[in-house]
Chains A and B, each alone.
Chain A
Amino acid sequence: TSGKLTYRLTDDAGKGLANVKVSLFD
Protein backbone atom coordinates (compact mmCIF):
# COMPACT_ATOMS: atom_id res chain seq x y z
CA THR A 1 0.00 0.00 0.00
CA SER A 2 3.07 2.24 -0.04
CA GLY A 3 4.42 4.61 -2.65
CA LYS A 4 7.92 5.81 -3.46
CA LEU A 5 9.52 9.23 -3.34
CA THR A 6 12.71 10.51 -4.88
CA TYR A 7 13.78 14.13 -4.73
CA ARG A 8 16.41 15.74 -6.94
CA LEU A 9 17.91 19.21 -6.52
CA THR A 10 19.62 20.93 -9.44
CA ASP A 11 21.38 24.14 -10.40
CA ASP A 12 20.21 26.31 -13.30
CA ALA A 13 21.91 24.03 -15.84
CA GLY A 14 20.17 20.93 -14.49
CA LYS A 15 23.29 19.60 -12.79
CA GLY A 16 22.58 17.72 -9.58
CA LEU A 17 23.56 19.33 -6.26
CA ALA A 18 25.40 16.76 -4.12
CA ASN A 19 25.61 16.48 -0.34
CA VAL A 20 22.57 18.63 0.37
CA LYS A 21 20.67 17.66 3.50
CA VAL A 22 17.00 17.06 2.76
CA SER A 23 14.49 16.65 5.58
CA LEU A 24 11.15 14.95 5.16
CA PHE A 25 8.27 16.06 7.38
CA ASP A 26 4.87 14.52 7.91
Chain B
Amino acid sequence: WDLFRPLAEAVAVAQHHDAVSGTAKQHVTNDYAVRIQRGVDGVEGHFSRTLNAALLTRGSPSAPAPPSPDPDAVATRCPLLNVSACPVTESMTPGDVVAVLAYNPLAWERMEHVRIPMNAAAARRAVVVDASSGEFVPSATLPAPPPAPLAGRTTTQLVFSVALPPLSVSTFFVRSLSENEVLPETALAEAAEETGA
Protein backbone atom coordinates (compact mmCIF):
# COMPACT_ATOMS: atom_id res chain seq x y z
CA TRP B 1 0.00 0.00 0.00
CA ASP B 2 2.91 2.32 0.73
CA LEU B 3 4.02 1.85 -2.84
CA PHE B 4 0.72 2.97 -4.23
CA ARG B 5 -0.13 5.60 -1.62
CA PRO B 6 1.28 8.62 -3.52
CA LEU B 7 -0.71 7.69 -6.61
CA ALA B 8 -3.84 6.84 -4.64
CA GLU B 9 -3.74 10.16 -2.84
CA ALA B 10 -3.04 12.12 -6.01
CA VAL B 11 -5.98 10.45 -7.76
CA ALA B 12 -8.14 11.08 -4.71
CA VAL B 13 -7.28 14.79 -4.84
CA ALA B 14 -8.00 14.79 -8.57
CA GLN B 15 -11.59 13.69 -7.96
CA HIS B 16 -12.44 17.38 -7.59
CA HIS B 17 -14.62 18.46 -10.52
CA ASP B 18 -12.11 21.16 -11.41
CA ALA B 19 -9.45 18.49 -11.95
CA VAL B 20 -11.78 16.26 -13.93
CA SER B 21 -13.04 19.06 -16.15
CA GLY B 22 -10.08 21.42 -16.26
CA THR B 23 -12.05 24.30 -14.76
CA ALA B 24 -9.26 25.71 -12.62
CA LYS B 25 -6.46 28.22 -12.95
CA GLN B 26 -3.53 26.88 -14.92
CA HIS B 27 -1.20 26.66 -11.92
CA VAL B 28 -3.79 24.58 -10.06
CA THR B 29 -4.25 22.30 -13.04
CA ASN B 30 -0.49 21.93 -13.35
CA ASP B 31 -0.35 21.02 -9.68
CA TYR B 32 -2.88 18.21 -10.17
CA ALA B 33 -0.74 16.93 -13.02
CA VAL B 34 2.48 17.08 -11.01
CA ARG B 35 0.92 15.13 -8.13
CA ILE B 36 -0.43 12.42 -10.42
CA GLN B 37 2.89 12.15 -12.27
CA ARG B 38 4.74 11.79 -8.99
CA GLY B 39 2.40 8.95 -8.06
CA VAL B 40 2.83 7.31 -11.47
CA ASP B 41 6.63 7.55 -11.19
CA GLY B 42 6.49 5.69 -7.87
CA VAL B 43 4.42 2.85 -9.36
CA GLU B 44 6.55 2.91 -12.51
CA GLY B 45 9.63 1.98 -10.54
CA HIS B 46 7.81 -0.97 -9.01
CA PHE B 47 6.51 -2.00 -12.44
CA SER B 48 10.05 -2.03 -13.85
CA ARG B 49 11.46 -3.99 -10.93
CA THR B 50 8.66 -6.57 -11.28
CA LEU B 51 9.24 -6.89 -15.00
CA ASN B 52 12.98 -7.25 -14.50
CA ALA B 53 12.45 -9.91 -11.90
CA ALA B 54 10.33 -11.76 -14.45
CA LEU B 55 12.90 -11.16 -17.19
CA LEU B 56 15.91 -12.31 -15.23
CA THR B 57 14.33 -15.37 -13.71
CA ARG B 58 13.00 -16.70 -17.01
CA GLY B 59 15.42 -19.16 -18.57
CA SER B 60 16.40 -22.63 -17.37
CA PRO B 61 17.38 -23.07 -13.71
CA SER B 62 20.60 -24.63 -14.93
CA ALA B 63 21.58 -21.47 -16.81
CA PRO B 64 24.76 -19.88 -15.52
CA ALA B 65 24.28 -17.01 -13.08
CA PRO B 66 23.75 -13.72 -14.94
CA PRO B 67 26.61 -11.28 -15.18
CA SER B 68 26.23 -8.11 -13.17
CA PRO B 69 23.05 -6.52 -14.53
CA ASP B 70 23.54 -4.08 -17.39
CA PRO B 71 21.99 -0.79 -16.19
CA ASP B 72 20.44 -0.40 -19.64
CA ALA B 73 18.73 -3.79 -19.36
CA VAL B 74 15.97 -2.37 -17.22
CA ALA B 75 12.48 -2.78 -18.70
CA THR B 76 10.82 0.62 -18.73
CA ARG B 77 7.71 2.08 -20.27
CA CYS B 78 7.93 5.06 -22.60
CA PRO B 79 5.02 7.37 -21.69
CA LEU B 80 5.92 9.84 -24.42
CA LEU B 81 5.69 7.34 -27.28
CA ASN B 82 2.88 9.41 -28.74
CA VAL B 83 5.36 12.20 -29.39
CA SER B 84 8.05 9.86 -30.71
CA ALA B 85 10.15 9.85 -27.54
CA CYS B 86 11.54 6.65 -26.04
CA PRO B 87 15.08 6.89 -24.64
CA VAL B 88 15.71 3.12 -24.76
CA THR B 89 15.02 2.72 -28.49
CA GLU B 90 16.36 6.12 -29.44
CA SER B 91 19.74 5.29 -27.93
CA MET B 92 20.13 2.07 -29.94
CA THR B 93 23.35 1.71 -31.89
CA PRO B 94 24.14 -0.89 -34.57
CA GLY B 95 24.44 -4.27 -32.85
CA ASP B 96 22.00 -3.41 -30.06
CA VAL B 97 18.92 -5.52 -29.31
CA VAL B 98 15.86 -4.13 -27.54
CA ALA B 99 13.21 -6.42 -26.10
CA VAL B 100 9.69 -5.04 -26.55
CA LEU B 101 7.27 -6.45 -23.99
CA ALA B 102 3.62 -6.08 -24.93
CA TYR B 103 0.93 -6.78 -22.33
CA ASN B 104 -2.58 -7.29 -23.73
CA PRO B 105 -5.10 -6.53 -20.94
CA LEU B 106 -8.07 -7.84 -22.96
CA ALA B 107 -9.48 -11.31 -22.58
CA TRP B 108 -9.32 -11.88 -26.32
CA GLU B 109 -6.68 -11.80 -29.00
CA ARG B 110 -5.95 -8.38 -30.47
CA MET B 111 -3.92 -6.93 -33.29
CA GLU B 112 -1.51 -4.29 -31.98
CA HIS B 113 0.13 -1.77 -34.25
CA VAL B 114 3.44 -0.71 -32.78
CA ARG B 115 5.31 2.50 -33.66
CA ILE B 116 8.63 3.10 -31.94
CA PRO B 117 11.15 5.91 -32.51
CA MET B 118 14.66 5.05 -33.53
CA ASN B 119 17.63 7.21 -34.26
CA ALA B 120 18.68 7.36 -37.86
CA ALA B 121 22.06 5.66 -37.28
CA ALA B 122 20.49 2.52 -35.82
CA ALA B 123 17.78 2.43 -38.49
CA ARG B 124 19.98 3.35 -41.40
CA ARG B 125 21.86 0.13 -41.74
CA ALA B 126 19.15 -2.51 -41.21
CA VAL B 127 16.61 -3.38 -38.57
CA VAL B 128 15.00 -6.72 -37.87
CA VAL B 129 12.04 -7.54 -35.67
CA ASP B 130 11.43 -11.09 -34.50
CA ALA B 131 9.21 -12.77 -31.96
CA SER B 132 10.57 -14.75 -29.02
CA SER B 133 9.96 -17.84 -31.15
CA GLY B 134 12.54 -16.52 -33.60
CA GLU B 135 9.96 -15.91 -36.33
CA PHE B 136 10.57 -12.69 -38.27
CA VAL B 137 7.87 -10.00 -38.01
CA PRO B 138 7.28 -7.82 -41.11
CA SER B 139 8.26 -4.27 -40.27
CA ALA B 140 8.88 -0.95 -41.96
CA THR B 141 10.63 2.33 -41.22
CA LEU B 142 9.46 5.83 -42.12
CA PRO B 143 10.32 9.37 -41.06
CA ALA B 144 8.96 10.44 -37.67
CA PRO B 145 5.79 12.56 -37.98
CA PRO B 146 5.82 16.33 -37.45
CA PRO B 147 6.30 18.49 -35.47
CA ALA B 148 9.97 18.42 -36.35
CA PRO B 149 11.83 16.50 -33.68
CA LEU B 150 14.14 18.40 -31.34
CA ALA B 151 17.71 18.79 -32.61
CA GLY B 152 19.65 15.57 -32.32
CA ARG B 153 16.51 13.56 -31.56
CA THR B 154 14.95 10.70 -33.40
CA THR B 155 14.04 11.08 -37.01
CA THR B 156 12.82 7.58 -37.83
CA GLN B 157 9.93 5.38 -36.79
CA LEU B 158 9.87 1.60 -36.86
CA VAL B 159 6.38 0.17 -37.36
CA PHE B 160 5.08 -3.37 -37.15
CA SER B 161 1.82 -5.19 -36.34
CA VAL B 162 1.59 -8.17 -34.03
CA ALA B 163 -1.23 -10.42 -32.85
CA LEU B 164 -1.27 -10.56 -29.05
CA PRO B 165 -2.88 -13.47 -27.19
CA PRO B 166 -5.39 -12.69 -24.43
CA LEU B 167 -4.26 -11.49 -21.01
CA SER B 168 -0.59 -12.12 -21.57
CA VAL B 169 2.83 -10.59 -22.12
CA SER B 170 4.41 -11.20 -25.54
CA THR B 171 8.04 -10.36 -26.24
CA PHE B 172 9.52 -9.13 -29.51
CA PHE B 173 13.12 -8.25 -30.30
CA VAL B 174 14.18 -5.24 -32.31
CA ARG B 175 17.71 -5.62 -33.55
CA SER B 176 19.82 -3.01 -35.28
CA LEU B 177 22.23 -5.07 -37.37
CA SER B 178 25.91 -4.41 -36.94
CA GLU B 179 28.27 -4.02 -39.90
CA ASN B 180 29.12 -7.68 -40.37
CA GLU B 181 25.67 -9.14 -39.77
CA VAL B 182 23.86 -10.43 -42.88
CA LEU B 183 20.25 -11.56 -42.87
CA PRO B 184 17.77 -12.42 -45.64
CA GLU B 185 16.33 -9.33 -47.30
CA THR B 186 12.80 -10.47 -46.46
CA ALA B 187 13.56 -10.28 -42.75
CA LEU B 188 14.72 -6.68 -42.80
CA ALA B 189 12.50 -3.73 -42.06
CA GLU B 190 11.26 -2.26 -45.32
CA ALA B 191 11.94 1.43 -45.89
CA ALA B 192 8.50 2.89 -46.57
CA GLU B 193 8.28 4.42 -50.02
CA GLU B 194 7.40 8.08 -50.07
CA THR B 195 4.95 8.38 -52.89
CA GLY B 196 3.84 11.43 -54.68
CA ALA B 197 1.17 9.45 -56.56
Partners in one complex: no
